[in-house]
Amino acid sequence: MNQKIIIAIDGYSSSGKSTLAKAISKKFKYKYIDSGSLYRTIALIAIRKKIFDSDLWNIRNFIPILKEMSLKFKWNQKSNQIDIFLNGENIQQKIRSEQVENKVSLIAQIPEIREKLTLMQRNIGKNKGIVIDGRDIGNYVFPKSELKIFMKGSIEIRSYRRYLDLKKRGEEVSYEEVRKNLIHRDIMDISRNISPLKKSVDSIEIDNTFLSIEEQLNLIFKFIKNKRKK
């Protein structure tokens, strides 16, 4: 019997979580939820509202600003992913910029924001049949998920992958800038007080520094097939 399960993929920035998650969602016809895109959306709003350049950079003033925003999610059948609309504008590409990456971990530290985004993710995933990637999914958002994967890779390989990705999108960045940003985000994600990035005891760890995507997928597909039979 093919039971619907929740597959949680956590790990370091640019460790290949979304590549793996997208391949799993395609193979098993599961919905893919990229939880980082929610935190990126809030960071984009904060940048646009010039929160970081002003005295408004405190939570008491930022939260009411968020309440004025209209955030809508639509399943994009083609990409099998949610597209995020901010006041009617599709911001899918804009949240991938280097500018957003430089601020998102600051936003991800705010308890009120984590609380709201956690509820949103639980709501989206309530019927199971999802693969969701992030930092706190296996430990906090869906602690009972049937399969938990934890991804890591050397800082050099992760920076290089991210650098190529940003270049492909036309961003003017150097490898060194990308490397610094990843180190900064790793530190912020590991050391924050609430729901920090941490491998859960019941997760399968994949270090993909020297693994091809095919090798990772072969390994994971076997685990998923076993879990769905139970």
Three-state secondary structure call for residue 130: strand
- Contact range with ligand C5P by CB under 6 A, out of 35-43, 60-68, 74-82, 217-225: 35-43
**Integer Cα distance of 97 and 44 in angstroms:** 9
Is residue 152 a contact point for ligand C5P (CB under 6 A)? no
Query: Which run of H or E residues covers position 21?
Result: helix 17-28
Place of tokens 């391949």: 23
Is residue 104 a contact point for ligand C5P (CB under 6 A)? yes
Tell me, by CB under 6 A, how many residues bind ligand C5P. Answer: 14
Query: By C-beta, is 80 or 109 nearer to ligand C5P?
Result: 109
**What's the Cα-to-Cα distance from 148 to each of 9, 24, 104, rounded to whole Å?**
6, 13, 24
DSSP class of residue 203 equals P
- Contact range with ligand C5P by CB under 6 A, out of 76-84, 101-109, 165-173, 217-225: 101-109
Query: By C-beta, is 131 or 137 nearer to ligand C5P?
Result: 137
Query: By CB under 6 A, what part of segment 39-78 binds ligand C5P?
Result: 39-40
**What's the Cα-to-Cα distance from 8 to each of 69, 71, 91, 119, 161, rounded to whole Å?**
29, 24, 24, 16, 22
Is residue 15 a contact point for ligand C5P (CB under 6 A)? no
- Contact range with ligand C5P by CB under 6 A, out of 59-67, 128-136, 171-179, 220-228: 128-136
Is residue 20 a contact point for ligand C5P (CB under 6 A)? no
Is residue 35 a contact point for ligand C5P (CB under 6 A)? yes
Q: What are all long-range contacts of 64-72, with beta carbons under 8 Å and residues at least 24 apart?
A: 66/42, 66/113, 69/45, 71/41
Q: Are strands 89-90 and 204-207 parallel, antiparallel or unpaired?
A: unpaired
Query: By C-beta, is 5 or 9 nearer to ligand C5P?
Result: 9
Given the rule CB under 6 A, which residues bind ligand C5P? 13, 35-36, 39-40, 104-105, 108, 134-137, 185, 189
